[in-house]
Structure 1
Amino acid sequence: METQKQKKSFGQWIKTSITIRMLMVGILILVLLIPLSYIKNLIQERAYRQEEVVKEINQKWGNEVLLYGPVLKIPYQIHSLKKTWDDKTKAYNEEDIITIKHAFFFPNTLDIKSKIESETLGRSIYESVVYTADMKIKGSFESPNFDIQDIKDEDILWNKATVIINSTNLKGIKSNLELNIGNNAYPLRSRYIQNSNTNTLETKFLKENSLPKDQAISFNLDLVINGSEQLRFIPVGRETNVSMVSNWASPSFNGNYLPNTKTKEITENGFKADWKVLQINREFEQEFFGELPYINSSAFGVKLLIPVDEYQKSERASKYGYLVIALTFLVFFLIQTISKIDIHPFQYLMIGLALTMFYTLLISISEHSSFLYAYMIAGFSVVILISMYAKAILKSIKFMGFVAASLAALYTFIFVIIQLENYALLVGSIGLFLILGSIMMISRRIDWKND
């Protein structure tokens, strides 16, 4: 008889113990980490799929454009003396070994005016921003200085001089390219260079009256090219001036040099920007002997951004999933403990699964609408579902309203944090401090003595 009473009292203690309830809630939170991790993987998978589709669109239209040039290329001879012993004459024979190398001279001035017509191309539910750039390029070459390398005039092969332009995107070129130097026009032809990150365009050998032997000579080039995401230039001119006009309203200016803040203009109809880069601002000189250097790190330009990345925001929202589940369970735990209403572990599990459904709704709706609308629809659906369920298990409209208000405030708080960038940590810390303070005040009503 006494044993049965002990079993009954032990069973009753298990049922009413606050400590046991807390352990149960904690275990359920850990269990719900499994579907949350699957949801985060789903968001990442969809984001990767978006990147693949965007890359495919860009490859067919034209990848990003990086322009390097024009550059004057002049070959020259290097002499080396080779001595060989002749047993017959008992003397050394001397042979002049000639090696051909190239000198590269950057323009004295380089002016680029670019008009960028942008648009979005879509495939299924994914979009990429592409553009067509109409560029007017002009400048001048001054007389090359070979004296710095002690190269004699007779070793300079002026008759083999050419002009080259490097670009990362030959596929996107939509106009026949002719470089006008002085009074002559030179078609640009593609030229393969092994182990190069850029594609090279080169003229045929320049005529005598196109060579800047004794005085500077001007050049100009019209270029129409399709590209995607970025348009960048390397400031090879002793003075480089670049101006851009575009109908894209969300530019990101990147690279080593930013545009002039006095002339930069961004409106809902597009942007205007101007750059001026002097030789003294660069990390490289005006001429190179031997081979053309890799100076892509000095590039500058613009990146055309899709204004909203739904997957990035959805992933940020999912990182707060643990917090949402823990705080929601805490609300039900406090209601259960204070009001003495029994809530079965299965009911906690159903509430937790409803909370995880928020993120699947968010990612699926945001693929077809804006993140704001998706967040509102998903949040409203989950709040209504859990509130109605709370009404059924708690048998109280007052508690249902408290649960609905708590969830609405929590989702609003997380939405504000997601939108913020510079102040996300500050607002999040203040919000969590206020939540903790509220929980501490409410938990004072719990009677821990009978546990």
Structure 2
Amino acid sequence: MTTQKRKIGNWFKNSISAKMLTVGFLILILLIPLSFVKDLIRERGYRQTQVIDEINTKWGNQVVLNGPILKIPYNVFVEEKLFDEKTKTFLKSQKAVRHVAYFFPQELDIDASVQTQPLKRGIYESAVYTADTHLNGTFDSLDFSEKEIAKENILWNKATVLFKTSNLKGIRNTVKIQLGEKEYALKPKFDNSYMNTLESSFLENLEAVQKNPLAFASNFKINGSQTLQFIPIGKETQVFMKSNWHSPSFNGNFLPDIEDKKISDNGFEAKWKVLETNRRFGQYFFDSLPDLSDFSFGTEFLVPIDDYQKTERTSKYGLMIIGLTLLVFLLIQISSKIAIHPFQYLMIGLALVMFYTLLISISEHQNYLFAYLVSGVSVVSLITIYSRSILKNAKFTLLVLGSMFSLYTFIFVIIQLEDYALLVGSIGLFIILSIIMFTSRKIDWSGSQPPA
């Protein structure tokens, strides 16, 4: 029994297969702390999202502005039959049923001056802004012919003008609209529509719009965060936006004109022009106003670097770094008489896992490049010094240092190249595999290593 145990012990000590099985098992064990680190990165990223949402809620959320819109009620008469008990017959009568028509401007020009700034809470940051928005344009003749509404059934004296916005809380001024020669204040109105509504009192002399275009002008000063968007309800809508923010992302259903777009370190300028032909809705709606937010366009004010996303992407390569680093030590052990204990493999693996905890903790207070540099240098230095005491050979120590330096540099390059990450990663892995195949070609995999 003692001899058999000794043989098994010598097999585990000297067999190449046993060493490979041991290292493979340790890699599987190290997946446990690596998964904990990934959960920590996701948790911190979720915490960042929560804090940014809280900052945005208190300052002012994302802004989508829709208006001005003329709201004109009209009557439709329907026939009713009433039973007369005296004559025992049905009497016919007509009942007026109130309906509403919504009309959009003929021309809509929007000039938005956006003063943007980063707003911090603790270690987290969001992009918030105050937008001075000036709107002007005209309403032209209003067409009721689709519903065949008689002129006398249009309630011009009950008409109002309204705006819809996604962010009522962020408005910083008393909103008014100059309609012709008359100015009207707009007040919030509760309804169950997709956005908050601001509506005026009844308009005066609106019927005159059937003969002559009616000019309007209005100003909004509004606090918002992340995005500012408009809905192109004008038959011809033009938007000019100017801001001091240097990292805009133009999004939504329409992009600004290329020749009128300027971006610099001091801010940006952009201009949009959208025609009725470019969208999938007309200049009026009857009875209800649909949700037109899918047609909105504007700008997202990006915080340039999201370090949590980069850290999470980096952690996805954790298994590769751990596996390749331990493989280097395994090849050194197989090709030499140096003995490396499984406990030493475990310590090296845990040091590699520590790289990610250092990376996320430092990147919360410094930029990603600095965090990656400090974490990488710390871990590579620690493992290099530790391997020097294990391997007791300067050549092998330099091999470990060179391989780890190359690995971390390779991962950093991949993280920076978002569009070409797959291409560069595939080529890099092919080169790594080629090097491993080349360096291990002379190893006799069929036998056992002599005892160390």
Report TM bin, short chain: over 0.9
Question: Partner of 2:71 in structure 1?
Answer: 73
Q: What code does the residue aligned with 1:302 have?
A: T
Looking at structure 1, the residues matched to 87 and 270 of structure 2 have their Cα atoms a distance apart, in angstroms, of 74
Q: What code does the residue aligned with 2:87 have?
A: T
Q: What code does the residue aligned with 1:208 have?
A: N
Contact 1:243 1:272 in 2 (8 A): yes
Looking at structure 1, the residues matched to 398 and 32 of structure 2 have their Cα atoms a distance apart, in angstroms, of 29
Question: Partner of 1:120 in structure 2?
Answer: 118
Question: Partner of 1:58 in structure 2?
Answer: 56
Looking at structure 2, the residues matched to 405 and 56 of structure 1 have their Cα atoms a distance apart, in angstroms, of 46
Looking at structure 1, the residues matched to 42 and 441 of structure 2 have their Cα atoms a distance apart, in angstroms, of 42
SS at match of 2:405: helix
Looking at structure 1, the residues matched to 181 and 127 of structure 2 have their Cα atoms a distance apart, in angstroms, of 39
Contact 1:249 1:271 in 2 (8 A): yes
Q: What code does the residue aligned with 1:11 have?
A: G
> Is 2:343 the partner of 1:349?
no
Contact 2:156 2:207 in 1 (8 A): no
Alpha carbons of structure 1 residues 4 and 200: separation in structure 2 relative to 1, 3 Å: closer
User: How big is the shift at 1:208?
Assistant: 1.3
What is the CA deviation profile of residues 384-413 of structure 1, one whole-angstrom value per residue up to 9, with x for unaligned ones?
A: 000000001111111111101100100000
Q: Taking structure 2 as the reference length, what is the TM-score of the superposition?
A: 0.97
User: How big is the shift at 1:104?
Assistant: 0.3
Q: What code does the residue aligned with 1:271 have?
A: F
Q: What code does the residue aligned with 1:420 have?
A: L
SS at match of 1:380: helix
Looking at structure 2, the residues matched to 439 and 105 of structure 1 have their Cα atoms a distance apart, in angstroms, of 71
Question: Partner of 1:319 in structure 2?
Answer: 316
Contact 2:194 2:291 in 1 (8 A): no
Equivalent of 2:231 in 205, 230, 234: 234
Q: What code does the residue aligned with 1:44 have?
A: R
User: How big is the shift at 1:6?
Assistant: 4.9
Contact 1:240 1:278 in 2 (8 A): yes
> Is 2:177 the partner of 1:179?
yes
Question: Partner of 1:396 in structure 2?
Answer: 393
Equivalent of 1:417 in 411, 414, 421: 414
User: How big is the shift at 1:175?
Assistant: 1.2
User: How big is the shift at 1:143?
Assistant: 1.4
Equivalent of 1:16 in 6, 14, 18: 14
Question: Partner of 2:108 in structure 1?
Answer: 110
Q: How many pairs does the alignment contain?
A: 448
Looking at structure 2, the residues matched to 407 and 443 of structure 1 have their Cα atoms a distance apart, in angstroms, of 18
Question: Partner of 1:439 in structure 2?
Answer: 436
Looking at structure 2, the residues matched to 36 and 4 of structure 1 have their Cα atoms a distance apart, in angstroms, of 39
User: How big is the shift at 1:7?
Assistant: 4.2
What is the CA deviation profile of residues 346-404 of structure 1, one whole-angstrom value per residue up to 9, with x for unaligned ones?
A: 00000000000000000000011010010000000000000000001111111111101
Q: Taking structure 1 as the reference length, what is the TM-score of the superposition?
A: 0.98
Q: Which deviates more from structure 2 when the two are superposed, residues 105-114 or residues 214-223?
A: 214-223
Equivalent of 1:286 in 265, 283, 288: 283
Where do 1:93-242 residues align within 5 Å?
93-194=91-192, 196-208=193-205, 211-242=208-239
User: How big is the shift at 1:222?
Assistant: 1.4
Looking at structure 2, the residues matched to 11 and 49 of structure 1 have their Cα atoms a distance apart, in angstroms, of 50
Question: Partner of 2:292 in structure 1?
Answer: 295
User: How big is the shift at 1:314?
Assistant: 0.2
Looking at structure 1, the residues matched to 422 and 318 of structure 2 have their Cα atoms a distance apart, in angstroms, of 17
Looking at structure 2, the residues matched to 141 and 432 of structure 1 have their Cα atoms a distance apart, in angstroms, of 63
Contact 1:79 1:98 in 2 (8 A): yes
Contact 1:184 1:210 in 2 (8 A): no
SS at match of 2:288: coil
What is the CA deviation profile of residues 214-238 of structure 1, one whole-angstrom value per residue up to 9, with x for unaligned ones?
A: 2210000111111100000000000
Equivalent of 2:302 in 302, 305, 323: 305
Looking at structure 1, the residues matched to 118 and 4 of structure 2 have their Cα atoms a distance apart, in angstroms, of 74
Unaligned 5+ residue runs, structure 1? none
Contact 2:156 2:206 in 1 (8 A): no
Question: Partner of 1:364 in structure 2?
Answer: 361
Question: Partner of 2:36 in structure 1?
Answer: 38
Q: What code does the residue aligned with 2:310 have?
A: K
SS at match of 1:119: strand
Looking at structure 2, the residues matched to 396 and 38 of structure 1 have their Cα atoms a distance apart, in angstroms, of 35
User: How big is the shift at 1:283?
Assistant: 0.5
> Which aligned runs of 4 or more in structure 1 are off by greater than 6 angstroms?
none
SS at match of 2:332: helix
Contact 1:73 1:103 in 2 (8 A): yes
Q: What code does the residue aligned with 1:82 have?
A: E
User: How big is the shift at 1:86?
Assistant: 3.0
Alpha carbons of structure 1 residues 4 and 203: separation in structure 2 relative to 1, 3 Å: closer
Looking at structure 1, the residues matched to 194 and 412 of structure 2 have their Cα atoms a distance apart, in angstroms, of 42
SS at match of 1:94: strand
SS at match of 1:262: helix
Question: Partner of 2:373 in structure 1?
Answer: 376
What is the CA deviation profile of residues 55-113 of structure 1, one whole-angstrom value per residue up to 9, with x for unaligned ones?
A: 11111111111001100110000111011333532432112121111000000000000
Looking at structure 1, the residues matched to 18 and 398 of structure 2 have their Cα atoms a distance apart, in angstroms, of 27
Looking at structure 2, the residues matched to 149 and 28 of structure 1 have their Cα atoms a distance apart, in angstroms, of 77
- Measured on the aligned residues, the alpha-carbon RMSD in Å equals 1.2
What is the CA deviation profile of residues 21-42 of structure 1, one whole-angstrom value per residue up to 9, with x for unaligned ones?
A: 1110111000000001100010
Contact 1:164 1:202 in 2 (8 A): yes
What is the CA deviation profile of residues 157-213 of structure 1, one whole-angstrom value per residue up to 9, with x for unaligned ones?
A: 00001100000111111111110011111001010102x231100110011168513
Looking at structure 1, the residues matched to 397 and 82 of structure 2 have their Cα atoms a distance apart, in angstroms, of 102
Looking at structure 2, the residues matched to 216 and 176 of structure 1 have their Cα atoms a distance apart, in angstroms, of 26
Equivalent of 1:269 in 266, 271, 274: 266
Looking at structure 1, the residues matched to 115 and 2 of structure 2 have their Cα atoms a distance apart, in angstroms, of 85
Contact 1:210 1:217 in 2 (8 A): no
Alpha carbons of structure 1 residues 73 and 256: separation in structure 2 relative to 1, 3 Å: same
Unaligned 5+ residue runs, structure 2? none
